[in-house]
Amino acid sequence: MASLPAGARRLLSRRFLTFCAVGGVNTAVDVAVFAALTEAGLPSAAAQALSYACGTLNSYLMNRRWTFRDSEGSTSRTLPRFAAVNLLALALTSGLLALLTGSFGWPVPAGKAAATAAGLLVTYAGSSRWAFRAHSNDYPEGSDSP
């Protein structure tokens, strides 16, 4: 991996891969809650809002404990920042999806995949550089240690 450019090494870092694994768990939480709520008769829009919130809360808890191991930052500081990062990502991915599928005529699955990839990069950057950053002298760029 030493022969890869610095940007590629950061993307393939243990922390980024852990962030992706947590994202997979969050997606499973979202889908399971959505399925249970719609099966119980809740309208899909309400079920989507609640299931997305459950996935996001799970994301915060797992990323705080496992991906970033942020034991020094208080919940009162990290949770609002994490929520802001995720709301920004939601707005950006929703806009990108609308642009790709509406203006550029991409098929919805392709647009969703591209928007999801963009959201992953935005949430990782925002989480690692702001939401879970404990101090200004945090870990060196590209470090696997949170």
Contact 100, 111 (CB under 8 A): yes
Would you say 64 and 76 are in contact if contact means Cβ atoms under 8 Å apart? no
pLDDT tens readout for residues 8-31: 676 678 899 999 999 999 999 999
- The helix or strand, by DSSP H or E, that contains position 83, with its residue range, turns out to be helix 75-98
Secondary structure letter of residue 140 according to DSSP: P
Please answer whether residues 144 and 13 qualify as being in contact, where contact means their C-beta atoms are separated by less than 8 angstroms.
Answer: yes
Domain boundaries, the chain: 6-131
Task: Give pLDDT tens digits for 91-120.
Answer: 999 999 999 999 999 999 999 899 999 999
Residue 136: pLDDT over 50: no
Using a cut of 0.85, tell me whether the model's pTM lies above it. Answer: no
